[in-house]
Chain A
């Protein structure tokens, strides 16, 4: 055996033996498990990020959000409209320095297509306390087909740095039984 600091004869390719061989076999097997886990969850699991998205101009997205708010508004909190989309339907949340707009009111166990986009910088959509996190980019309508499975009030916080007001950027999702 040579020092790792010494040059070696070029015929260095040799099959591993003993415990080294056993470890490489085990490690490879584990890598196969890791590799298969993701496609398995994609088909059998209930939490997947499929990245469904459409390009959208920020002004057009803002107009759609406004239309969505006007036709589905059910109340107001902290000066922000509470909007209840039809189960199975589309819902919108717009990120902008430093607010999420509007408040969404959803029904537990119902599925919604939530459209996320930004009017300015990149933002992060982080639902507390369940800790689900998705990226929001300006110019992209990011669609999450989401089914809330717990009821309550869920703050949304921004977790992508977006300037000096970043840590004050919050929103809200209300899930009713």
Chain B
């Protein structure tokens, strides 16, 4: 059944045996499986960033399990202080550390391997990596020491330890240096003519993500630096409304970096798992461009029930911007599966409307992870996101569990699942190590997605009964005025707990084989074994 499970080389350009890029002699290798030219310096940094990413994913995952076990009202595991501490820890490890380390790895890969160029600067790559790593370790240490129980958003005037803000600034500046190195790499590829015409679509998507990242990190600096100076009592407290506006320029747009990176990974995995081609370059590239142009305004989604921002401002920012960015996602939501459909039909799976879908390589975790990511992101993440971000509807959703119910289907069910699927190719192709426990790998995307979906649906329903996010006690024990929810919320919170356990098992099914493969896996000399 090798035709059902096409190996990577089907999709990729065959290149000459010798690298023809701009690499110094001995500083590149030709991948035996894909024919791509891999810059050895870039390869080292891709490995470093990917390993750190997985470490933070595991740390964030352990915290996730513990807080899910606390939200499950029948278990209510952690004491209140540790619940809030680990919620802070979980948010930052997942949304900032795992994602940013992985994204820098993806940027370095996309620029060097797909444009057949060397990395612009090893020095910059080291500087960025060290800043990110020092920042990340300091950040986690400060949170676990209990000095900074402020949630990921650290809304002023709630105040954390100065090192909390400083370490976030370190991570942001380190990431910015990585992004600058990426742009420099794209520049030298163009200068040295290592590719002809326009950059590949996946690189175009990566450039989109990188541009949004610069805007995002600019907002991050704009708010974190004055907040840090306030924490060491140099500046007065930031205005809370201004803080929210600028912070969400960081917080919302950083998720749009994820979306652009995730969509690029979809195109990449479609190509290497089933040989999908780009149906219309203009359509896909225009859709990426819409992200850059319009996503900026979407930080307004977090201020829809705030004082001091007028209805006109909110409607303008929500509608005008958001829906053209939504249009972009709806376009990718068609072009990506359509490319898969066209490729599979071409391979002879042409029966009926969905014969191609049945014939897809569902046993390949690179494919199943990518396709599940697409479905969960579109059907659950997209629909809930647009609805909750509607100006007036936000009144019945703001700060309830409906919000994390939404973003666990975008960032976890979408981005994280896609990045995991990518790892099923990164490890054999970049680390050149074989995955052990292949049956577990094949099942992993399904288990993880199932857990995330149960968790997110539980959160959404509990939230629609008013259960607050970031809240330790649905019984309000000891409160001045008694308060409680509809009893059915206990069932939905039970789904949060059970979904959390299943997703955590799915996470371990990813982390354990990946770590074993990277450190002890059988060395791959020739082509990678087909999934």
In the complex they form, whether A and B have CB atoms below 8 Å apart is answered with yes
Complex: A142 Cα to B305 Cα, angstroms: 10
Shortest CB distance A84–B (Å): 17
- Complex interface bits, A49-87 against B, C-beta within 8 A gives 1, otherwise 0: 111110000000000000000000000011110000000
Total number of residue pairs linking A and B with CB closer than 8 Å: 286
Residues of A within 8 A of B473 (CB): 167-168
Given A5-B271, A161-B151, A49 and B394 contact (CB-CB distance below 8 Å): yes
Interface size class of B (residues with CB under 8 A): 35 or more
Please report which residues of chain B, range 454-511, place their CB below 8 angstroms from some CB of chain A when the two chains form the complex: 464-466, 468-473, 476-486
**Minimum C-beta distance from B270 to chain A (A):** 7
In the bound complex, what is the Cα–Cα distance between A19 and B339 (angstroms)?
A: 12
A151 vs chain B, min Cβ distance (A): 18
Residues of A within 8 A of B281 (CB): 2, 8, 12-14
Assembly CA distance A37 to B241 (angstroms): 27
- Could you tell me how many residues of chain A have their Cβ less than 8 Å away from some Cβ of chain B? 85
- Mark out the residues of chain A between 126 and 177 whose CB falls within 8 Å of any chain B CB in the assembled complex: 126, 128-143, 155-164, 166-172
Contacts of B201 in A (CB 8 A): 2, 4-5, 8
Q: What A residues does B199 contact at CB under 8 A?
A: 7
Out of A2, A135, A142, A171, name the residue touching B278 (CB < 8 Å).
A2
Contact B400 A133, beta carbon cutoff 8 Å: yes
- A27: B residues at CB distance < 8 A: 327, 330-331, 334
The digit string for B404-437, where 1 denotes a CB below 8 A from any CB of A, is 0000000000000000000000000000000000
Give Cα A51 to B326, complex, Å. 25
Cβ of A86 to closest chain B Cβ, rounded Å = 23
Partner of B334, one of A20, A50, A126, A171: A20
Residues of A within 8 A of B525 (CB): none
Asked if A31 meets B309 with Cβ closer than 8 Å, knowing A1-B278, A12-B285, A14-B281, the reply is: no
Contact at B483–A12, with CB atoms within 8 Å?
no
Chain A residues with Cβ below 8 Å from B270 are 4
A101 — nearest CB in chain B belongs to which residue? B480
Residues of B within 8 A of A170 (CB): 476, 479-483
Q: Is the CB of A126 within 8 A of B400?
A: yes
Cα distance A31–B396 when bound, in Å?
22
User: Roughly how many angstroms separate A7 CA and B207 CA in the complex, as a whole number?
Assistant: 14
Q: Is B184 interfacial (CB-CB < 8 Å)?
A: no
- Say whether B314 contacts A49, CB under 8 Å: yes
> Of B240, B476, B477, which contacts A137 at CB under 8 A?
B240
CB distance from B208 to the nearest CB of A (A): 13
Contact A122:B158 (CB < 8 A) given known A78-B480, A133-B397, A135-B398: yes
Taking CB atoms and an 8 Å cut-off, the chain B residues in 295-321 that contact chain A are: 303-311, 313-315, 318-320
A51 x B482 contact (CB < 8 A): no
Partner of A159, one of B240, B286, B323, B471: B471
| 8 Å CB contact of B198 from A9, A14, A138, A166 | A9
* Closest A residue to B266 using CB positions: A4
Distance of A161 Cα from B319 Cα, bound (Å) = 28
B386: nearest chain-A partner, CB-CB: A34
B114 contact set on A, CB distance < 8 A: 5
Q: Contact at B11–A3, with CB atoms within 8 Å?
A: yes
Residue A48 interfacial (CB < 8 Å): yes
Tell me the complex Cα distance, A134–B286, Å.
37
Which B residue's beta carbon lies closest to that of A116?
A: B307
Extra A-B contacts (4), CB below 8 Å, given A5-B272, A41-B392, A78-B481: A4-B278, A20-B279, A134-B305, A137-B307
Q: B residues touching A (Cβ–Cβ < 8 Å)?
A: 11-13, 36, 80-81, 84, 114-115, 149-151, 155, 157-158, 195-202, 239-241, 244, 267-268, 270-272, 275-286, 303-311, 313-315, 318-320, 323-324, 326-327, 330-331, 334-335, 338, 342, 386, 390-392, 394-400, 464-466, 468-473, 476-486
8 nearest A-B pairs in the assembled complex, by CB-CB distance:
A53-B307, A142-B307, A155-B483, A159-B468, A12-B281, A1-B277, A4-B201, A31-B323
Binding site for B on A (CB under 8 A): 1-10, 12-17, 19-20, 23-24, 27-28, 30-32, 34-35, 37-39, 41-42, 45, 47-53, 77-80, 99, 103, 116, 120-122, 124, 126, 128-143, 155-164, 166-172
